[in-house]
Structure 1
Amino acid sequence: MQVDWHTFGLSLVPLVGLAQFYVKRYFRRFNEEVDLTVQTVLITNAETQLGRALGLEFAKRNARVILACRSMIEGGLARLDIVANSGRSDRNVLARILDMRSLDGVRDFADLVLTHEERQVQLDILVNIPAHIGFPSPQPANDTTKFYNENYLGPFLLTTLLLDLLKKSGAQPCIVHVGSFLRKTDSVDLDYLKSGEEISFDKIMQTKPMLGQSRVRLHSNVRTMRAMFTSELARRVSELGITVCCTNPGKDPDEGTQILLHCALSRTLQSDSVHIFSGWQKDNVHDLAKNSTLCEKFWKYSETLIREFPNDASDSQV
């Protein structure tokens, strides 16, 4: 029987493409050799699966890792797991309590880091993992304060409080903001920024109607706010050698960990611009985040919000 090799070859094309997809999807790894000896990494919401996996990878690269967790019970378990699997001594993996839902709690945590880390000389990498990636169950109305605190205002406050410490890094300091995919339709009410009129916090947090679902609007807000914050942060530190990234790591914690390692450690990323990633691919900057004037004004407004917005008490386990 004569084989039609041309037809046979064409039949293999889909299989080859599928194989390449799975290799790229499941086997791509951050493979740059980076030794983090004497460097300190801080990860927020480190009790999550993504936070634990990332902490382990940093520890394997000889970093000193601070796990900022909502409760000491979860933080202690994460710490024990990382110490057991990384070969690092327990004094190089620390667990600290940080509940972003309480802005006073964020201030207390930052004071603790600044007091202790000043003696340790530096903080080199800050990874802000949000409490929610994707869409959680709808939040009760009285939990809106907590939602904004833990997904935007808390990370904003923590980053600004620790910025001077990051500037002292003797390595290549980096700030990574983790979040879900930013959509072109995401927005917040920024009309007041253009007109200069005073406006209440309630109005700025209202988006244009999106499917009539409050949880969708909440996430639209924080995604846009995070993008604008990241863009303005990158502009402010561009001459200080600090790399700033914002990334959607996807749903797979293993792959997400590799993507975050790329953002935090890759020497191919320059500190003179903001780096937006969706998975492994660089993504376009959101239109609002491109407007430097709006981003600067929103930064200043965020500074006002962290002073005036209600400080919701957390219910953390100590």
Structure 2
Amino acid sequence: MPHERTPGWVAEPQLGSWAEDMGKFVEQDLTKIAAVYCLVVILLLFSWPPVPAVLLGTALLVLRRYLAGGRYFSEARLDGRTVLVTGASGGIGQETARQLYRRGARVVLACRDVSKGRVAANGIRLGLPPTGGSLSVKRLDLTSLNSVREFVKDFNHTEQSLDVLINNAGVMWRPFEKTEDGFELAFQVNHLAPFLLTILLLDKLKAAPQGRIINVSSMANYFTNGINFANLNGEETFNSSSQYSNTKLMNIAFASELSRRLALLGGRDRMGRGAQRREERNT
């Protein structure tokens, strides 16, 4: 049965000026700021004049704030919405699931290791008061395209709708290795498998009142020399850092082209806004 829209659930990120953002950073990260300045005090004990240490401490704070990227300060609710997060058993995926659950969403944690996923889900539940949301764990192994297809088959059977897909799972700087499908590991886990997952779930997302697809990319995409389409599988030459950067660029290219095609099909860009998060992620 179609669910009613919750006003404001797709509110855009409330990004203020740099000064306002720094003010919220100071307000919310006092413990980390104190830790940095403890480091500064230690440096002061071994540095004279003290100016270099003070400048270093300030530079560390500014650098940390810059690398943290944009912040989302809206308290928009997600009641009645179903959100799928891949790689949610730890790291940024688990924290994303936590924030979505806090806002009342029905969150599906898609994890390769179901036991770790359940531990993560229990940790989220125990760390928050009742939110009106729910958490469930399903197995998804991106090193197997068959696993992706089986996951979608099960998801379509158990879930009536899907409002948001967050392609978060990925690998970083791994030695050359092929999956059971014959593809280089990072190429498949970071790009091919999320691509397949998205396409197989696209009808459900398009049926949602305000469907969203989020591909977690990385600043590493800036460090690629361009994708060599004759060596996508890394069999001629392979560098783990370059391969990772290439796959992160593929994430952005996929999000951009999918957004363009959906806009053409739907007359407007229903799912493209916020499709790319160009932040460093190591999950």
Runs of 5+ unmatched residues, structure 2: 1-51
Q: Among residues 90, 99, 107, which one is paired with 2:141 in the alignment?
A: 99
Please tell me whether residue 163 in structure 1 is matched to residue 220 in structure 2: no
Runs of 5+ unmatched residues, structure 1: 1-10, 191-202, 254-318
Q: Which residue of 2 aligns with 1:311?
A: none
Q: Among residues 254, 258, 261, which one is paired with 1:229 in the alignment?
A: 254
What SS does structure 2 have at the residue aligned with 1:65?
Answer: strand
Counterparts of 1:28 and 1:232 in 2: how far apart (Å)? 23
Identity %: 28
Counterparts of 1:60 and 1:99 in 2: how far apart (Å)? 26
Q: Which residue of 2 aligns with 1:43?
A: 85
Q: CA deviation at 1:23?
A: 8.5
> Does the 8 A contact of 1:83 with 1:89 survive in 2?
no
What SS does structure 1 have at the residue aligned with 2:107?
Answer: strand
Q: Which residue of 1 aligns with 2:34?
A: none
Q: Among residues 155, 168, 187, which one is paired with 1:129 in the alignment?
A: 168
Q: CA deviation at 1:128?
A: 0.5
1:76–1:17 distance in 2 versus 1, CA, 3 Å: closer
Please tell me whether residue 214 in structure 1 is matched to residue 256 in structure 2: no
Aligned length, in residue pairs: 223
Q: Among residues 73, 97, 109, which one is paired with 1:31 in the alignment?
A: 73
Q: Which residue of 2 aligns with 1:178?
A: 216
Please tell me whether residue 250 in structure 1 is matched to residue 277 in structure 2: no
Counterparts of 1:174 and 1:189 in 2: how far apart (Å)? 30
Please tell me whether residue 149 in structure 1 is matched to residue 201 in structure 2: no
> Does the 8 A contact of 2:92 with 2:281 survive in 1?
no
Which amino acid is the alignment partner of residue 99 of structure 2? E
What SS does structure 2 have at the residue aligned with 1:66?
Answer: strand
Counterparts of 2:170 and 2:224 in 1: how far apart (Å)? 22
1:56–1:17 distance in 2 versus 1, CA, 3 Å: same
Q: CA deviation at 1:22?
A: 6.8
What SS does structure 1 have at the residue aligned with 2:183?
Answer: helix
Q: Among residues 108, 119, 122, which one is paired with 1:77 in the alignment?
A: 119
> Does the 8 A contact of 1:110 with 1:162 survive in 2?
yes
1:23–1:226 distance in 2 versus 1, CA, 3 Å: closer
1:166–1:141 distance in 2 versus 1, CA, 3 Å: closer
Counterparts of 2:133 and 2:189 in 1: how far apart (Å)? 28
The CA RMSD over aligned residues, in Å, is 3.3
User: TM-score, normalized by length of structure 2?
Assistant: 0.67
> Does the 8 A contact of 1:56 with 1:85 survive in 2?
no
1:17–1:158 distance in 2 versus 1, CA, 3 Å: same
User: TM-score, normalized by length of structure 1?
Assistant: 0.60
Q: Which has the higher contact order (CA 8 A, sep 6+)?
A: 1
Counterparts of 1:142 and 1:67 in 2: how far apart (Å)? 23
Which amino acid is the alignment partner of residue 279 of structure 2? P
1:36–1:187 distance in 2 versus 1, CA, 3 Å: same
> Does the 8 A contact of 1:44 with 1:69 survive in 2?
yes
Deviations 1:194-232 (A, max 9, x none): xxxxxxxxx35167x9xx753234224322322221111
Deviations 1:161-201 (A, max 9, x none): 1111111212x3221111222125442234xxxxxxxxxxx
1:168–1:184 distance in 2 versus 1, CA, 3 Å: same
Which amino acid is the alignment partner of residue 167 of structure 1? K
